[in-house]
A and B are shown apart, each in its own frame.
Chain A
Amino acid sequence: MPLETIMAGVMISALILYALLGGADYGGGVWDLFAFGKRAPAQRALIAQAIGPVWEANHVWLILVIVVLFTAFPPAFAAISTALHIPLTLLLIGIVLRGTTFTFRAHDAQRDDVQRRWSLLFSIASIITPVLLGIVLGANASGTIRVENGVVVSGFLKSWLAPFPFAVGFFALSLFAFLAAVYLTVEASQPELQEDFRMRALIAGFAVGILALIVFLLAGTGAPTVRAGISRSWWALALHLGTAVVAVGAFYTLWIRKYRVARICAAAQVTLILVGWALAQFPYLVEPDIIIYSAAAPRATLQLLIVALAAGVILLLPSYYYLFRIFKGGILITTPSVNSVEEYYDKERTRGD
Chain B
Amino acid sequence: MNDLLAARSQMAMSLAFHIVFAAIGIAMPLLMIIAEWQWLRTKDEVYLALAKRWAKGTAILFAVGAVSGTVLSFELGLLWPGFMRYAGAIIGMPFSLEGFAFFTEAIFLGIYLYGWDRVPPRAHLFSGVMVAVSGALSGIFVVIANAWMNTPTGFHIVNGRPVDIDPFAAMMNPAAFAQTLHMTLAAYAATGFVVAGIHAFMLRRDSNNRFHKSALAIALTVGGVAAILQPLSGDLLAKMVAKNLPVKLAALEGQFATEKGAPLRIGGIPDEGAGVTRYAIQIPYGLSILAYNDPNATVKGLNDFPATEHPPVALVHISFQIMVACGLAMMGIAVWAAWRCWQARRKRTKAWLESRWFLRALVLAAPLGFIAIETGWVVTEVGRQPWIIYGVMKTAEAVTPVPGLVVPFITFTLLYIFLAATTVWLLLRQVAASPQAFGSDGQEVRLAA
A residues near B (Cβ < 8 Å) are 52-54, 56-57, 59-60, 62-64, 66-68, 70-75, 77-82, 85, 88-89, 91-93, 95-97, 99-100, 102-104, 106-110, 150-152, 156, 297-298, 300-301, 304-305, 308-309, 312, 315-316, 319-320, 322-323, 326-327, 331, 351-353
Contacts and interface: CB of A to CB of B under 8 A. Distances in A.
Contacts of B68: 96
B129 to A, nearest CB: 13
Residue among B87, B103, B402 with the highest chain A CB neighbour number at 10 A = B103
B302 interface: no
B78 A319 contact: no
Given A103-B63, A151-B401, A71 B111 contact: no
Contacts of B98: 67
Given A66-B73, A110-B433, A312 B108 contact: no
B397 to A, nearest CB: 12
Given A77-B88, A79-B81, A59 B66 contact: yes
In the A-B complex, the 9 residue pairs with the closest CB atoms = A71-B92, A74-B88, A81-B77, A297-B89, A103-B63, A78-B81, A312-B100, A53-B114, A78-B85
Nearest to A82: B81
A301 to B, nearest CB: 5
Given A109-B429, A331-B118, A56 B106 contact: yes
Nearest to A353: B52
Interface of B is mostly: helix
Contact of A88 (B67, B78, B90): B78
B426 interface: yes
Interface stretch (B165-173, B306-314, B321-329, B340-348): B165-173
Given A53-B115, A78-B85, A107-B426, A60 B419 contact: no
A71 B110 contact: no
Contacts of B78: 81, 85, 88-89
A104 B424 CA distance: 11
Nearest to B169: A300
Interface string B107-120: 11111011111110
Given A95-B67, A96-B415, A297-B92, A109 B165 contact: no
B92 A67 contact: yes
Contact of B419 (A81, A100, A305): A100
A70 B93 contact: no
A67 B101 CA distance: 13
Given A53-B114, A82-B401, A300-B165, A104 B107 contact: no
Given A85-B402, A100-B419, A70 B110 contact: no
Contacts of A320: 103, 107
B97 interface: yes
B415 to A, nearest CB: 6
Contacts of B432: 109
Contact of A352 (B52, B102, B119): B52
Given A71-B96, A77-B88, A301-B90, A93 B411 contact: yes
Given A95-B67, A109-B430, A152-B401, A301 B103 contact: no
A92 B71 contact: yes
Given A64-B103, A92-B74, A326-B111, A74 B117 contact: no
B368 to A, nearest CB: 27
A84 to B, nearest CB: 9
Contacts of B88: 70-71, 73-74, 77-78, 297
B64 interface: yes
A93 B81 contact: no
Nearest to A110: B429
B207 interface: no
Contacts of A63: 69-70, 73, 99, 102-103
Contacts of A319: 104, 107-108, 130
A107 B92 contact: no
Interface of B: 49, 52, 56, 59-60, 62-64, 66-71, 73-74, 76-78, 81-82, 84-90, 92-93, 95-100, 102-104, 106-111, 113-119, 130, 163, 165-168, 400-403, 408, 411-412, 415, 419, 422, 426, 429-430, 432-433
A267 B170 CA distance: 40
17 contacts: A56-B63, A56-B106, A62-B70, A70-B92, A71-B93, A71-B95, A72-B92, A74-B88, A78-B88, A93-B411, A95-B71, A108-B426, A297-B89, A305-B167, A308-B97, A316-B104, A327-B110
A62 B70 CA distance: 9
Contacts of B402: 82, 85, 156
B229 to A, nearest CB: 29
Contacts of A327: 110, 114-115, 118
A300 B59 contact: no
Nearest to B95: A67
Nearest to A92: B71
Contacts of A309: 96
A68 B84 contact: no
A110 B56 CA distance: 12
Given A78-B84, A89-B78, A109-B433, 20 more contacts: A53-B111, A56-B63, A59-B106, A63-B99, A67-B98, A74-B84, A74-B87, A78-B77, A78-B88, A81-B78, A82-B401, A89-B408, A96-B415, A104-B426, A301-B165, A308-B97, A315-B104, A316-B107, A326-B111, A353-B49
A351 B426 contact: no
B210 to A, nearest CB: 17
